[in-house]
Structure 1
Amino acid sequence: MATEGEPGGFVKMVHLFLLSTAWGMQLWVTFIAGFVLFRGVSRHTFGLVQSKLFPFYFYTLLGCTFLNLAIFATYHPWELLSARETIQIVLFFTCLILTAANASWFSRTTTKTMFKMQEIEREHGLGAEVGMLAHREAYQRLKEKDAKYRSLRQRFFTFHGLSSLCNLASVVCTGVNLVCLALQLDSL
């Protein structure tokens, strides 16, 4: 049941903690960890780390977003929402749906496809190089001569692109909600 009125200090603290945890995690995983790993470890190691990191990341983000939506909806009855509050609740819900799609489908499909690609790459002595530019021609030749690999690459990049798009949209949703919350602070 929706509760109108001011939440207590503990509820405000939990809401801010969850929102800032989600935001910080999104920024770190999206813009820092991936680029550092990409430049510092082999392609196959990078894929393995991502396959372990992403489920934890998406499910933690899903939990934070669900709890943020629940807290926000509890203290903002639907019939009393202002325009800003309507935008916020829609953004929380959008982030929840996009993260659920990533956690349950896009990320899993991308990872399964990546592992199949890695099997073929290992058969051709590829995957131990660091960075994307190393042995680029060898990957191109493999793609041209192996139809199964070409199909897997296409599937991988399709689902990876959808996953990345959902993740970036979630980052924006969380960021806007954080800005809205910050603008409501009376003082620092």
Structure 2
Amino acid sequence: MAAVFFASGAITFGPEGLLGSSPAATAVKMAHLLFFATSLGATVYAIFVGGIVMFLYLPRHMMGRLRGKVFPACFTLNTVCTALSAAAFAWLNYPWKTAPVVERRQLGLLVATVGFDLTNLLLLAPKTLEMMQERHIVERGLGLGEQGSFDGLRSNIRLATSNAALAAANRRFWAAHIPSAVALLASTFGLAAHLWYLAGKLAL
């Protein structure tokens, strides 16, 4: 209801008056910004708010289980929203094959960002979660998992020096987790680069 209220106010009292001179283009621009901002906001929250708070305040295994629910949901939201944002951007610059080079690069950047999120959602994150669960089994057998994340991490590193099963579980986990983290960073870079592009278009 709040979104409808603010959108109605923007349409009614916007600079171009009621609906403006091109309501379709304005609606597509609004959709592009809305979906892009949602994707960027979800990414920033998941990395810099949710992820940090979980790491600081939750027991090690509880944090892992919660991240196992939060991050797939975030990747799903990002994939859908960035794809819709890219579609709106393509519509606004149609025919995109004759659009300026900078706009074509931005479209390619958004499509690549969707690809990183989709790869994380379908391939990398599920493998990471599988390896995390396997490592949790090994850690529980060693009495780890209920400590805070810092203490649990230190205990894991210490025990892995003398426990081959834990060391092997750690290697499998990081072999899966690092590509997922790189894909997430690449997606974040793509969104940040598009934000820079949009900021350059503003006239304040």
Do both share a fold (TM > 0.5)? yes
Q: How many residues align?
A: 182
User: What's the offset of the Cα at 1:135?
Assistant: 6.5
109, 113, 122: which is aligned to 1:91?
109
The CA distance in 1 between the partners of 2:169 and 2:24, in whole Å, is 50
What is the match of residue 40 of structure 2? 23
Secondary structure of 1:111's counterpart equals: helix
User: What's the offset of the Cα at 1:156?
Assistant: 1.0
The CA distance in 2 between the partners of 1:130 and 1:74, in whole Å, is 49
74, 77, 80: which is aligned to 1:57?
74
What is the match of residue 115 of structure 1? 133
Letter in 2 for 1:29: A
Q: Percent identity?
A: 29
Contact 1:7–1:75, Cα closer than 8 Å, also in 2: no
The CA distance in 2 between the partners of 1:176 and 1:6, in whole Å, is 28
Letter in 2 for 1:108: P
The CA distance in 2 between the partners of 1:26 and 1:19, in whole Å, is 11
How far does the alpha carbon of each residue in 1:85-106 deviate from its partner, in whole angstroms, 9 at most, with x for none?
A: 1220111011011101100111
The CA distance in 2 between the partners of 1:157 and 1:132, in whole Å, is 17
19, 40, 45: which is aligned to 2:62?
45
Runs of 4+ deviating beyond 6 Å: none
Give the 3 Å change call, closer, same or farther, for CA 184–96 of structure 1 in structure 2.
same
Which of 1 and 2 has greater Rg?
Answer: 2
The CA distance in 2 between the partners of 1:91 and 1:114, in whole Å, is 31
What is the match of residue 183 of structure 2? 166
The CA distance in 1 between the partners of 2:140 and 2:68, in whole Å, is 18
The CA distance in 2 between the partners of 1:26 and 1:7, in whole Å, is 29
Secondary structure of 2:150's counterpart equals: coil
Cα RMSD for the two superposed structures: 1.9
What is the match of residue 72 of structure 1? 89
Q: Which residues of 2 match residues 146-185 of structure 1 at below 5 A?
A: 146-185=163-202
After superposing the two structures, state which structure 1 stretch, 152-161 or 120-129, moved more.
152-161
Secondary structure of 1:132's counterpart equals: helix
The CA distance in 1 between the partners of 2:32 and 2:56, in whole Å, is 35
5+ residue gaps, structure 2, are 1-21
Contact 2:29–2:92, Cα closer than 8 Å, also in 1: no
After superposing the two structures, state which structure 1 stretch, 69-78 or 48-57, moved more.
69-78
The CA distance in 1 between the partners of 2:107 and 2:24, in whole Å, is 16
Q: What's the TM-score once normalised by structure 1's chain length? A: 0.89
Letter in 2 for 1:98: F
The CA distance in 2 between the partners of 1:157 and 1:134, in whole Å, is 16
